[in-house]
């Protein structure tokens, strides 16, 4: 995928929006961070920091982008933004619903300057509904979508919720998908488009494995569905060294292979049972079995056909041979390591820019290209409209 001719004006900050546009920048898009003239994206200053003396989060999701600093509350800053919009393909914003309207940078206003514009809004709850104006973070979105309740057993587990950033990252991923979809739709002759992405909606979309039951009268609970711990052949088990191993033998052939390899052929015919006593007995047998060896000893012994795998720490995961073989973790010579674009393609951009932009570093460059001469830029800077 090469998006070299696509220009995106990105008004977002922190994680969800910048993650979305980092994916697009990695695919070759020209992403311009539109930051305010005060602090800009405050992920720049959020610890921990990298060797480049910027926040590690900022460093990870703002590479290869350019930065322009505009005061969109001022007439001069807003007019400069309109001139940039005229030459852009996409405007992406992450304000709470209504803020873009007050700043006069909403979709209806901007299509007057660029009728082919693809405009994407990303927010916690979307632009409509009773929660539209609520502030929120990941656990709020996951909770409203019902997935927090399906992935923990009690309140003590909430701070340790696996994948607790699925609202931010899932929302960012779907926003990137929506932007590319909007660009393709435009290329097919359908004109520009406005897309409203709610992180809560995206998280709810992840509930496909339990949504049918919930929509047809049942109330799926943790430990009571096929994928949340009901069956002992699809669960997580502690090993002798206090670490954990996954077993995901949903299909009978994988359960059979597992039972044969661990010498418990007597358990083979219990796969698929609904008898509570039998399910509990199998779980107890597996708990005892896995506790006899360390995690890595089990991994060395069990074959690829047993549907087992390690539960890794973040550090272990990012050093795992599988991710290394895929080249997912990038270690450039001139930049800190990071997790890169999560797909391999035969037409991927080469020689990506791994630099991160300074706050307003490209203001003069971009406004000059938009037709502002040095005197006009100086006047705007004197009025505080740009930085």
Helix 16-26 to helix 166-185 angle (10° resolution) is 50
Q: What are phi and psi of 33, to 5 degrees?
A: -75, 120
In this structure, the dihedral spanned by the alpha carbons of residues 147, 150, 156 and 157, taken in order and rounded to 10 degrees, is -80
Q: Long-range contacts made by residues 187-196, C-beta under 8 angstroms, separation at least 24?
A: 191/115, 191/116, 192/111, 192/114, 192/115, 192/116, 192/117, 192/118, 192/119, 193/118, 193/119, 194/107, 194/119, 194/120, 194/121, 195/118, 195/119, 195/120, 195/121, 196/121, 196/123, 196/126, 196/127, 196/128
**Contact partners, residue 306, CB within 8 Å, separation at least 6:** 247, 249, 254, 257, 258, 261
Q: Long-range contacts made by residues 48-54, C-beta under 8 angstroms, separation at least 24?
A: 50/336, 51/336, 52/335, 52/336, 52/356, 54/356
SS3 93: strand
CA gap 67, 18 in Å, rounded: 12
What residues are paired with 9 via a beta bridge?
32, 91
* Residue 23 to residues 5, 38, 336, 343, 367, Cα–Cα distance (Å): 15, 26, 17, 10, 25
DSSP assignments along 289-300, one per residue: HHTTS-HHHHHH
The answer to whether 296 is a known catalytic residue is no
Q: In this structure, what DSSP letter does residue 49 have?
A: B
Paired tokens of 22: 């980092």
Number of neighbouring beta carbons within 10 Å of residue 130: 7
- Chain centroid to Cα 144, Å, comes to 18
Residue in 36, 41, 168, 235 annotated catalytic: 168
Q: Which residues are catalytic?
A: 168
């Amino acid at each position: 995928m090469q998006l070299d001719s696509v220009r995106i004006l990105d008004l977002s900050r922190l994680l969800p929006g910048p993650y979305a546009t980092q994916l697009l920048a990695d695919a070759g898009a020209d992403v311009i961070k539109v930051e305010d003239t005060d602090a800009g994206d405050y992920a720049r200053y959020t610890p921990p920091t990298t060797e480049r003396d910027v926040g590690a989060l900022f460093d990870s999701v703002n590479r290869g982008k350019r930065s322009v600093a505009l005061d969109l509350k001022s007439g001069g800053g807003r007019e400069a933004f309109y001139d940039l919009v005229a030459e852009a393909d996409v405007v992406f914003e992450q304000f709470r619903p209504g803020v873009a309207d007050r700043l006069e940078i909403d979709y209806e206003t901007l299509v007057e300057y660029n009728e082919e514009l693809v405009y994407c809004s990303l927010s916690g709850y979307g632009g409509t509904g009773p929660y539209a104006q609520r502030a929120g973070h990941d656990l709020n979105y996951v909770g409203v979508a019902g997935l927090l309740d399906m992935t923990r057993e009690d309140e003590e587990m909430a701070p340790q919720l696996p994948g607790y950033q699925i609202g931010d990252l899932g929302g960012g991923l779907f926003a990137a998908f929506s932007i590319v979809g909007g660009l393709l739709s435009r290329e097919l002759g359908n004109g520009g488009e406005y897309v409203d992405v709610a992180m809560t909606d995206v998280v709810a979309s992840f509930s496909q494995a339990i949504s049918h039951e919930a929509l047809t009268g049942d109330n799926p609970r943790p430990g009571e569905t096929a994928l949340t711990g009901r069956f002992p052949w699809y669960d997580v088990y502690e090993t002798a060294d206090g670490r954990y191993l996954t077993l995901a033998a949903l299909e009978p052939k994988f359960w059979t292979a597992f039972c044969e390899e661990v010498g418990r052929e007597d358990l083979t015919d219990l796969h698929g049972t609904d008898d509570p006593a039998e399910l509990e007995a199998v779980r107890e047998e597996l708990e005892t079995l896995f506790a006899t060896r360390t995690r890595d000893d089990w991994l060395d012994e069990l074959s690829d056909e047993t549907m087992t795998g390690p539960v890794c720490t973040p550090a272990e995961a990012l050093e795992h041979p599988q991710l290394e073989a895929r080249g997912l973790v990038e270690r450039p010579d001139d930049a800190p390591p990071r997790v890169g674009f999560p797909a391999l393609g035969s037409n991927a951009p080469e020689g990506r820019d791994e630099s991160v932009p300074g706050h307003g570093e490209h203001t003069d460059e971009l406004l000059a290209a938009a037709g502002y001469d040095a005197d006009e830029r100086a006047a705007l800077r004197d009025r505080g409209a740009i930085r």
